[in-house]
Amino acid sequence: MSFLKQVFAVITGLILVTVIGFVLLVVILSSGNKDTDATLNGSSVLKITLNSPIIERESDKLFDGILNPTGSTSKTGLLQLREAIKEASENDKVKGIFLDIKIPSAGIATWKELRDELVEFKKSGKFIIAYAEMYTEASYYIASVGDEIYLPESGLLEFNGMGVQMLYFK
């Protein structure tokens, strides 16, 4: 009899631990996946920080950050950037855009799409201010859309020119 009591106690304990662990896992995962809406007052400015690789589209998969072997989960989606800029141009509460440009990595086509979206934003009559501690060709290409471009005294500007040259074999 004592043996059966021990077996049932162990089974009951395992079931309780499994259920409690599962509930905690669901609570933790669901709390980390909440989108928060920003509240805008009458004179808000959209701040865009370009400090991570710009990819075509951000992933909305829950476990991407956990399964990434590099540990880096910070990536900016071009589609999300374009949507945010478009919404800002249509929203009367947003007065302009502040570009905080670090050294992000992206291709020339990505830079062109982002710059074209900023040009469209500017047609709405709102301002764009760009700031960077170091301007490369690509970051200055984006910043050149701005009404004002800021660089600290200790900042760097590297501009050798932009161009693409294909090697032609005959």
Predicted pLDDT of residue 34: 55
Q: Which of the residues in the chain have pLDDT under 50?
A: 67-69
Q: Which domains does the chain have, with CATH numbers?
A: 42-157 (3.90.226.10)
Which amino acid belongs to residue 65? G
Q: What is the C-alpha to C-alpha distance for residues 170 and 63, in angstroms, rounded to an integer?
A: 49
pLDDT, tens only, 18-29:
999 999 988 887
Predicted pLDDT of residue 33: 54
Contact status, residue 131 vs residue 99, Cβ threshold 8 Å: yes
